[in-house]
Amino acid sequence: MKEAKSKPVLNPVLLKARILYDGGYYAAAFQTLSKNENILSKNSALALEFKYRMGRVHQAQKSYPEAISYLKSTLQQGELNHTYFAASAALQLGLIYEADNQQKAALYYFNRCLQINPPDYKTSLHQKAKSGVERVSINK
């Protein structure tokens, strides 16, 4: 509801991709994003969310090298942005590296998530990152 009331209006392509992703239609979300990549990646206001959504779609499809690339780019470009994309990208990178038994890299990204303070979803993102830090620290 907060997003629906916010200005500017959400981009319909990114919203469609988000809904498809949330519904588990990863291939359709990927197709929607890919088909509009030129427009979305060239618009600085939309590029960050485009990269984030592409990263999440690749992650869901277990295309980890591509997911890591998009998520790292999101983190790098969005760290000072006032959205949750960078913090969530850091969290997802931590989860990817944790699943791959790369504990040091996972810990690094969980801690990066904790260093970012987005106005939205901060509590949830930070709690998940703290849990990741605990899991990785125990498994050292």
Domain locations in the chain as residue ranges: 2-138
State residue 83's pLDDT score.
82
* pLDDT above 90 as % of the chain: 81
Contact 125, 112 (CB under 8 A): no
DSSP state of 118: -
DSSP state of 24: T
43-90 pLDDT, tens digit per residue, is 887 999 999 999 999 999 999 999 999 999 999 999 888 789 999 999
* pLDDT above 70 as % of the chain: 92
Whether residue 101 is predicted with pLDDT greater than 90 in this model: the reply is yes
HEC assignment per residue over the chain: CHHHHCCCCCCHHHHHHHHHHHCCCHHHHHHHHHHCHHHHHHCHHHHHHHHHHHHHHHHHCCCHHHHHHHHHHHHHHHCCCCCCHHHHHHHHHHHHHHHCCCHHHHHHHHHHHHHCCCCCCHHHHHHHHHHHHHHHHHCC
Q: Which CATH superfamily is domain 2-138 in?
A: Tetratricopeptide repeat domain (1.25.40.10)
Position 10 confidence tier, pLDDT thresholds 50, 70, 90 = confident
Question: What is the pLDDT of the chain when averaged over all its residues?
Answer: 92
Kindly compute the dihedral angle of the four CA atoms of residues 78, 80, 86, 91, in this order, to the nearest 10 degrees.
Answer: 150
21-42 pLDDT, tens digit per residue, is 999 999 999 999 999 999 998 8
Whether residue 2 is predicted with pLDDT greater than 70 in this model: the reply is no
User: Apex CA 137: angle with CA 135 and CA 140, to 5°?
Assistant: 110
State residue 51's pLDDT score.
96
State residue 7's pLDDT score.
57
